Amino acid sequence: MNVFTIRSAVQSVCFVILLLLVLSPVAVALKAQKPESMQHEESTSEQRIGLLREEVAEGSDSAGSSTALGGSNLDLSAGKENLNVLQAMGKLNFWLLFLAMACGMGSGLATVNNISQIGGSLGYTSKETSTLVSLWSIWNFSGRFGAGFISDHFLRQRGVGRPFFIGATLLIMSVGHVIISSGLAASLYIGSVLVGLCYGCQWALMPSITSEIFGLNHFGTIFNMVAVASPVGSYILSVRVVGYIYDMESPPDEHACQGKHCFALSFFIMACVCLFGSAVAFVLFIRTRKFYRQVVYARLKSFLEK
């Protein structure tokens, strides 16, 4: 049988062309935002209060703080910069959120993309791996629903910023990856439940954090720029980590790998990646806690007291 093969150079050219086509909508969005960004910086640079108030003086007395918070609704609403995508990408908080999402969403997608191979390595039947995918979908939905409710509750009651829950879910996700890497009985069921639950939580929390930190005027563009972290992280972890190690552990004359050694190292690496992402998310939480307490929490309290 004659098999037609494409040269690696041709494959590389096709890859670059496809990559440019995929990124072309981003170029359109950036071009549309640039004139507005320049005009905004020239005309209102002195009027912007700054969303996170990172330069708020540490020595401000409590009386002044309460006056600033309770004085008027204008103070609360003016604390929210409605940044466009270029301005948002110029903020450290954007990249902290992006990096945390790349670690969490990327490792979550890498897990579900390779769950059939993992099940096959451990001797699961096709029916059992199908059940795992179904369980993943159920817990993914549960995470999206539960994360919104829990984060809303703690934000209303205690003023806890949502980035805290991103960090917490990444910690739990790290535990899930470690459980899967152990290869013990039922470890794939337990680990996939934890990873799927936390993956859903992150998709529920990320849009809310994006709107609260960067404003609503350009929410759609900024949200989708942050969401790019998901395929980026998935490609790195799924192809360059899980796939590469799986192929490396497979016997040269076989296409499949059997045993927990096929994926143990890759899931341990993803556990470390999630730990790193959790640390990044907690840095974002520390940087934004004043904003959540002084602006978001105060606004919610004033709304509920009406």
Structure-token match 């539960």, residue found: 146
Report residue 268's pLDDT band, with 50, 70 and 90 as the boundaries: very high
pLDDT on residue 102: 97
Is the pLDDT at 52 greater than 50? The verdict is no
Q: Which residue has the higher pLDDT, 215 or 25?
A: 215
Domains of the chain (ranges plus CATH)? 91-304 (1.20.1250.20)
Instruction: Give residue-wise pLDDT tens across range 140-161.
Output: 999 998 999 999 999 888 889 9
For the ranges 5-9, 160-164, 204-208, the lowest mean pLDDT is seen at 5-9
d(CA 93, CA 52): 10
The arithmetic mean of pLDDT across residues 232-247, rounded, is 92
**Band (81; pLDDT cuts 50, 70, 90):** low
Q: What is the pTM of this model?
A: 0.76
Res 188: pLDDT: 92
- Alpha carbon distance 251, 264 (integer Å): 16
